[in-house]
Amino acid sequence: MREATALVRRVEVALPDQAGTCVIGFRRDGAASVFFGADPVFQFNTQGELRRAFIDGKLVKAELGKLVWLERVRTDTTVQLLRRDFTKTERDAFLAAAQAYLNKLGQYFAKEIDVVSQVPQAEMVSSDVERWLASLADPIAIAERPNVGA
């Protein structure tokens, strides 16, 4: 929660069936990010399109409306970022898994949710998160690029 300073409005919640917490927040422009601990992470642009993710230890980014894997390969002297396009099967499975995570989170918010902390404290960030989750496209739309702005 403390490290998510780019999310000027954020809330940390305890999830009933998981040991860790989840941080959901919004940048100044309204772009949202969802952190289920360190993994998975889903980041969206201002139109609610998926722009980046981190899942199963792999980076994912949107590129021209498609998804690509980015894998860090370290040698003794360099770090390379290898890029590989998702297959249609991988894309469909990834989007279904992301949708399942976010749908379950939306179900928690529709009920009573245990807020651990939020910034700013005077606002009801959880209400905005609930509305944002309900507004997401199903299936999740993929951004044209991984940048925050559309």
What pLDDT does 72 receive? 85
Residues 10-47 have pLDDT tens digits of 999 998 877 789 999 999 999 999 999 889 999 999 99
Residues 6+ apart with CB under 8 A from 32: 24, 25, 26, 43, 44, 48, 129, 132
Instruction: Say what the pLDDT of residue 113 is.
Output: 86
Residues of the chain with pLDDT under 50: 1
> Coil, helix or strand for 43?
strand
Q: Evaluate whether 43 touches 53 at the Cβ level (below 8 Å).
A: yes
pLDDT, residue 124, reads 84
Instruction: Note the pTM of the prediction, 2 decimals.
Output: 0.91
Q: Do residues 73 and 59 lie in contact, with contact meaning Cβ atoms separated by under 8 Å?
A: no
Do 85 and 92 contact (CB within 8 A), yes or no? Answer: no
Question: What SS3 class is residue 45?
Answer: coil
Q: What is the pLDDT, as a whole number, of residue 150?
A: 53
Question: For residue 3, what pLDDT is reported?
Answer: 61
Q: Are strands 66-74 and 58-63 parallel, antiparallel or unpaired?
A: antiparallel
